[in-house]
Protein backbone atom coordinates (compact mmCIF):
# COMPACT_ATOMS: atom_id res chain seq x y z
CA UNK A 1 0.00 0.00 0.00
CA UNK A 2 2.85 2.36 0.75
CA UNK A 3 3.84 2.18 -2.96
CA UNK A 4 0.30 2.78 -4.34
CA UNK A 5 -0.19 6.37 -3.14
CA UNK A 6 2.77 7.93 -5.01
CA UNK A 7 1.67 6.24 -8.25
CA UNK A 8 -1.93 7.41 -7.80
CA UNK A 9 -0.76 10.94 -7.06
CA UNK A 10 1.39 10.96 -10.19
CA UNK A 11 -1.53 9.82 -12.35
CA UNK A 12 -3.79 12.54 -10.91
CA UNK A 13 -1.16 15.20 -11.55
CA UNK A 14 -0.78 14.08 -15.15
CA UNK A 15 -4.55 14.13 -15.69
CA UNK A 16 -4.76 17.63 -14.21
CA UNK A 17 -2.00 18.82 -16.53
CA UNK A 18 -3.80 17.41 -19.58
CA UNK A 19 -7.09 19.05 -18.53
CA UNK A 20 -5.40 22.42 -18.04
CA UNK A 21 -3.77 22.15 -21.45
CA UNK A 22 -7.14 21.46 -23.06
CA UNK A 23 -8.77 24.44 -21.31
CA UNK A 24 -6.19 26.99 -22.50
CA UNK A 25 -7.32 27.08 -26.17
CA UNK A 26 -10.96 27.13 -25.05
CA UNK A 27 -10.29 30.14 -22.88
CA UNK A 28 -8.46 31.82 -25.73
CA UNK A 29 -11.42 31.20 -28.06
CA UNK A 30 -13.78 32.65 -25.52
CA UNK A 31 -11.63 35.75 -25.26
CA UNK A 32 -11.62 36.20 -29.04
CA UNK A 33 -15.39 35.84 -29.16
CA UNK A 34 -15.80 38.45 -26.45
CA UNK A 35 -13.49 40.84 -28.26
CA UNK A 36 -15.30 40.28 -31.54
CA UNK A 37 -18.62 40.87 -29.81
CA UNK A 38 -17.43 44.20 -28.50
CA UNK A 39 -15.89 45.05 -31.85
CA UNK A 40 -19.22 44.50 -33.56
CA UNK A 41 -21.18 46.52 -31.05
CA UNK A 42 -22.51 43.47 -29.27
CA UNK A 43 -20.51 44.19 -26.14
CA UNK A 44 -20.94 47.01 -23.67
CA UNK A 45 -18.30 49.27 -25.19
CA UNK A 46 -18.37 50.91 -28.60
CA UNK A 47 -16.58 53.95 -30.00
CA UNK A 48 -18.49 55.41 -32.95
CA UNK A 49 -17.28 58.03 -35.40
CA UNK A 50 -20.15 59.99 -36.92
CA UNK A 51 -19.49 61.99 -40.09
CA UNK A 52 -22.05 64.80 -39.95
CA UNK A 53 -22.92 67.73 -42.20
CA UNK A 54 -21.61 71.05 -40.88
CA UNK A 55 -25.11 72.33 -40.17
CA UNK A 56 -25.51 69.54 -37.60
CA UNK A 57 -22.49 70.65 -35.54
CA UNK A 58 -24.38 72.16 -32.62
CA UNK A 59 -27.40 69.88 -32.50
CA UNK A 60 -25.25 66.75 -32.68
CA UNK A 61 -23.18 68.02 -29.75
CA UNK A 62 -26.42 67.95 -27.76
CA UNK A 63 -27.43 64.60 -29.22
CA UNK A 64 -24.06 63.12 -28.31
CA UNK A 65 -24.55 63.96 -24.62
CA UNK A 66 -28.07 62.54 -24.58
CA UNK A 67 -27.09 59.34 -26.39
CA UNK A 68 -24.03 58.64 -24.27
CA UNK A 69 -26.07 59.19 -21.11
CA UNK A 70 -28.66 56.63 -22.22
CA UNK A 71 -26.06 54.21 -23.60
CA UNK A 72 -23.26 53.84 -21.03
CA UNK A 73 -20.06 52.54 -22.61
CA UNK A 74 -20.82 54.00 -26.04
CA UNK A 75 -18.75 57.01 -27.02
CA UNK A 76 -19.52 59.20 -30.03
CA UNK A 77 -16.99 61.24 -31.96
CA UNK A 78 -18.79 63.79 -34.13
CA UNK A 79 -16.77 64.81 -37.18
CA UNK A 80 -18.49 67.72 -38.99
CA UNK A 81 -17.66 68.98 -42.49
CA UNK A 82 -19.34 69.88 -45.75
CA UNK A 83 -21.29 66.94 -47.15
CA UNK A 84 -19.04 66.79 -50.22
CA UNK A 85 -15.98 66.59 -47.94
CA UNK A 86 -17.59 63.79 -45.96
CA UNK A 87 -18.33 61.91 -49.17
CA UNK A 88 -14.68 62.21 -50.19
CA UNK A 89 -13.60 60.83 -46.81
CA UNK A 90 -15.90 57.83 -47.22
CA UNK A 91 -14.62 57.10 -50.72
CA UNK A 92 -11.04 57.30 -49.44
CA UNK A 93 -11.81 54.69 -46.81
CA UNK A 94 -11.50 56.91 -43.75
CA UNK A 95 -12.56 54.90 -40.67
CA UNK A 96 -16.08 55.88 -39.62
CA UNK A 97 -19.35 54.27 -38.63
CA UNK A 98 -22.22 56.62 -39.50
CA UNK A 99 -22.79 59.25 -42.18
CA UNK A 100 -25.35 62.06 -42.09
CA UNK A 101 -25.48 64.45 -45.05
CA UNK A 102 -27.47 67.61 -45.74
CA UNK A 103 -28.96 66.26 -48.96
CA UNK A 104 -30.11 63.00 -50.47
CA UNK A 105 -28.04 63.50 -53.65
CA UNK A 106 -24.73 63.12 -51.81
CA UNK A 107 -25.98 60.10 -49.87
CA UNK A 108 -27.38 58.44 -53.00
CA UNK A 109 -23.97 58.74 -54.62
CA UNK A 110 -22.53 56.56 -51.85
CA UNK A 111 -25.03 53.70 -51.99
CA UNK A 112 -22.26 51.11 -52.37
CA UNK A 113 -20.63 52.37 -49.18
CA UNK A 114 -23.68 52.73 -46.94
CA UNK A 115 -26.62 50.89 -45.52
CA UNK A 116 -30.18 51.99 -46.32
CA UNK A 117 -30.47 55.71 -45.44
CA UNK A 118 -33.22 57.20 -43.28
CA UNK A 119 -34.19 60.89 -43.46
CA UNK A 120 -34.03 62.20 -39.90
CA UNK A 121 -34.79 65.91 -40.40
CA UNK A 122 -35.42 68.73 -42.85
CA UNK A 123 -34.30 72.34 -43.03
CA UNK A 124 -34.90 75.58 -44.91
CA UNK A 125 -32.83 78.52 -46.04
CA UNK A 126 -32.67 82.06 -44.68
CA UNK A 127 -30.61 85.12 -45.54
CA UNK A 128 -28.10 85.90 -42.80
CA UNK A 129 -27.20 89.59 -42.51
CA UNK A 130 -24.97 91.57 -40.22
CA UNK A 131 -26.49 92.25 -36.81
CA UNK A 132 -29.34 94.73 -37.08
CA UNK A 133 -29.56 94.23 -40.85
CA UNK A 134 -27.99 97.64 -41.58
CA UNK A 135 -28.35 97.17 -45.35
CA UNK A 136 -32.11 96.61 -45.01
CA UNK A 137 -32.13 93.29 -46.86
CA UNK A 138 -35.72 92.19 -47.31
CA UNK A 139 -35.49 89.29 -49.72
CA UNK A 140 -33.57 87.37 -52.36
CA UNK A 141 -33.84 90.15 -54.95
CA UNK A 142 -31.82 92.47 -52.71
CA UNK A 143 -28.82 90.14 -52.96
CA UNK A 144 -28.30 91.26 -56.56
CA UNK A 145 -27.31 94.74 -55.37
CA UNK A 146 -23.71 95.21 -56.54
CA UNK A 147 -22.96 97.36 -53.48
CA UNK A 148 -23.76 94.43 -51.20
CA UNK A 149 -21.02 91.97 -50.32
CA UNK A 150 -22.70 88.58 -50.55
CA UNK A 151 -21.08 85.24 -49.72
CA UNK A 152 -22.47 81.87 -50.80
CA UNK A 153 -21.47 78.26 -50.39
CA UNK A 154 -19.83 76.56 -53.33
CA UNK A 155 -22.14 74.80 -55.78
CA UNK A 156 -20.60 71.45 -54.81
CA UNK A 157 -21.98 71.86 -51.28
CA UNK A 158 -25.65 71.04 -50.60
CA UNK A 159 -26.44 74.52 -49.22
CA UNK A 160 -24.69 76.01 -52.25
CA UNK A 161 -26.88 73.97 -54.62
CA UNK A 162 -29.99 74.91 -52.67
CA UNK A 163 -28.96 78.59 -52.80
CA UNK A 164 -28.44 78.46 -56.57
CA UNK A 165 -31.79 76.73 -56.93
CA UNK A 166 -33.75 79.43 -55.11
CA UNK A 167 -31.87 82.30 -56.76
CA UNK A 168 -32.34 80.86 -60.25
CA UNK A 169 -36.02 80.28 -59.54
CA UNK A 170 -36.43 84.00 -58.80
CA UNK A 171 -34.17 85.07 -61.70
CA UNK A 172 -31.82 86.74 -59.23
CA UNK A 173 -28.17 87.08 -60.30
CA UNK A 174 -25.65 87.30 -57.49
CA UNK A 175 -21.91 87.86 -57.81
CA UNK A 176 -20.58 86.56 -54.48
CA UNK A 177 -17.35 87.90 -53.03
CA UNK A 178 -16.48 84.30 -52.16
CA UNK A 179 -17.81 80.77 -52.32
CA UNK A 180 -17.25 78.73 -49.19
CA UNK A 181 -16.68 75.02 -48.54
CA UNK A 182 -19.53 74.69 -46.03
CA UNK A 183 -22.42 76.55 -44.49
CA UNK A 184 -20.55 77.39 -41.28
CA UNK A 185 -17.92 79.25 -43.30
CA UNK A 186 -20.67 81.32 -44.94
CA UNK A 187 -22.12 82.16 -41.54
CA UNK A 188 -18.68 83.01 -40.16
CA UNK A 189 -18.01 85.52 -42.96
CA UNK A 190 -21.20 87.38 -42.07
CA UNK A 191 -20.52 87.16 -38.32
CA UNK A 192 -17.06 88.67 -38.77
CA UNK A 193 -18.33 91.46 -41.00
CA UNK A 194 -16.42 90.16 -44.01
CA UNK A 195 -19.72 89.93 -45.87
CA UNK A 196 -22.98 91.85 -45.64
CA UNK A 197 -25.18 88.85 -46.29
CA UNK A 198 -25.16 85.16 -47.10
CA UNK A 199 -27.58 82.29 -47.58
CA UNK A 200 -27.48 79.70 -44.81
CA UNK A 201 -29.77 77.17 -43.18
CA UNK A 202 -32.31 78.50 -40.71
CA UNK A 203 -30.77 76.38 -37.96
CA UNK A 204 -27.29 77.84 -38.52
CA UNK A 205 -28.54 81.41 -38.26
CA UNK A 206 -30.25 80.41 -35.01
CA UNK A 207 -26.87 79.54 -33.46
CA UNK A 208 -25.63 83.12 -33.89
CA UNK A 209 -28.61 85.34 -33.06
CA UNK A 210 -26.33 87.72 -31.14
CA UNK A 211 -24.19 88.33 -34.23
CA UNK A 212 -26.46 88.03 -37.26
CA UNK A 213 -30.05 88.67 -38.24
CA UNK A 214 -32.07 86.15 -40.23
CA UNK A 215 -34.29 87.30 -43.09
CA UNK A 216 -36.94 84.71 -43.84
CA UNK A 217 -37.36 83.38 -47.39
CA UNK A 218 -41.03 82.65 -48.21
CA UNK A 219 -41.88 78.96 -48.58
CA UNK A 220 -42.88 79.47 -52.20
CA UNK A 221 -39.35 80.72 -52.95
CA UNK A 222 -37.49 78.41 -50.59
CA UNK A 223 -35.90 74.98 -50.86
CA UNK A 224 -36.26 72.07 -48.46
CA UNK A 225 -33.08 70.32 -47.37
CA UNK A 226 -33.36 66.67 -46.32
CA UNK A 227 -30.89 65.01 -43.94
CA UNK A 228 -30.43 61.26 -44.51
CA UNK A 229 -28.48 59.13 -42.02
CA UNK A 230 -26.94 55.75 -42.76
CA UNK A 231 -24.46 53.25 -41.41
CA UNK A 232 -21.20 52.78 -43.29
CA UNK A 233 -20.39 49.32 -44.57
CA UNK A 234 -16.76 49.73 -43.54
CA UNK A 235 -17.74 50.17 -39.88
CA UNK A 236 -16.24 47.79 -37.33
CA UNK A 237 -19.15 48.56 -34.99
CA UNK A 238 -22.07 47.64 -37.22
CA UNK A 239 -24.63 46.88 -34.50
CA UNK A 240 -23.81 49.98 -32.47
CA UNK A 241 -23.82 52.13 -35.62
CA UNK A 242 -27.25 50.80 -36.62
CA UNK A 243 -28.54 51.45 -33.10
CA UNK A 244 -27.46 55.10 -33.27
CA UNK A 245 -29.03 55.64 -36.69
CA UNK A 246 -32.27 54.10 -35.40
CA UNK A 247 -32.12 56.31 -32.29
CA UNK A 248 -32.03 59.45 -34.46
CA UNK A 249 -35.67 58.79 -35.37
CA UNK A 250 -36.85 58.27 -31.78
CA UNK A 251 -39.00 60.88 -30.00
CA UNK A 252 -36.03 61.88 -27.79
CA UNK A 253 -33.72 62.57 -30.72
CA UNK A 254 -36.46 64.22 -32.75
CA UNK A 255 -37.20 66.61 -29.89
CA UNK A 256 -33.52 67.61 -29.80
CA UNK A 257 -33.65 68.29 -33.54
CA UNK A 258 -36.96 70.22 -33.28
CA UNK A 259 -35.62 72.34 -30.43
CA UNK A 260 -32.68 73.31 -32.66
CA UNK A 261 -35.07 74.43 -35.39
CA UNK A 262 -34.97 71.41 -37.70
CA UNK A 263 -38.22 70.29 -39.25
CA UNK A 264 -39.83 66.87 -39.17
CA UNK A 265 -38.54 64.35 -41.72
3-state SS of 115-152? CCCEEEEEEEEEEEEECCCCCCCCCHHHHHCCCCCEEE
Cite the DSSP H helix spans in 40-103: 57-70, 83-91
Model pLDDT for residues 148-171, shown as the tens digit of each residue: 999 999 999 999 999 999 999 999
The whole-model pTM stands at: 0.81
Residue 137 near residue 129 (C-beta atoms within 8 A): yes
Q: Is the pLDDT of residue 8 over 50?
A: no
260 DSSP assignment: T
The values of phi and psi at residue 31, to 5°, are: -65, -40
- At residue 45, the pLDDT reads 81
Q: Is the pLDDT of residue 56 over 60?
A: yes
Domain locations along the chain:
46-122+226-259, 123-224
Helices H / strands E in the chain, number of each = 9, 9
- At residue 209, the pLDDT reads 94
The per-residue pLDDT of the chain, averaged, comes to 88
Query: Among 182, 104, 169, 99, which residue's Cα sits nearest to residue 140?
Result: 169
- At residue 34, the pLDDT reads 41
Query: Among 229, 102, 216, 109, which residue's Cα sits nearest to residue 166?
Result: 216
- At residue 17, the pLDDT reads 47
Q: Three-state DSSP class for 261?
A: coil
Model pLDDT for residues 216-245, shown as the tens digit of each residue: 999 999 999 999 999 999 999 999 999 999
- At residue 256, the pLDDT reads 98
CA dihedral 247, 248, 252, 256 (to 10 degrees): 150
Q: Do domains 46-122+226-259 and 123-224 have the same CATH topology?
A: yes
23 DSSP assignment: H
- Provide the CATH number for the domain formed by 123-224 in this structure: 3.40.190.10
Query: Among 92, 53, 82, which residue's Cα sits nearest to residue 248?
Result: 53
- At residue 153, the pLDDT reads 97
Query: Among 71, 90, 59, which residue's Cα sits nearest to residue 227?
Result: 59
Q: Give the residue-averaged pLDDT of 120-142.
A: 98
Model confidence at 44, in pLDDT bands (50, 70, 90)?
Answer: low
Model pLDDT for residues 165-221, shown as the tens digit of each residue: 999 999 999 999 999 999 999 999 999 999 999 999 999 999 999 999 999 999 999
Fold type of domain 46-122+226-259: D-Maltodextrin-Binding Protein; domain 2 (3.40.190)
Amino acid sequence: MSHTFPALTARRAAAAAVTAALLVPLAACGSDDDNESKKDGGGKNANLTVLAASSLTDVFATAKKAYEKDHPGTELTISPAGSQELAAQVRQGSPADVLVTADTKTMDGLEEETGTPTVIAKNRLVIATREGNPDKVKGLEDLSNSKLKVVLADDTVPVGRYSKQVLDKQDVTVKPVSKEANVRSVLSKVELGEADAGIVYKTDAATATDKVDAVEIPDAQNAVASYPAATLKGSKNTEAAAAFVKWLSTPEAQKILRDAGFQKP
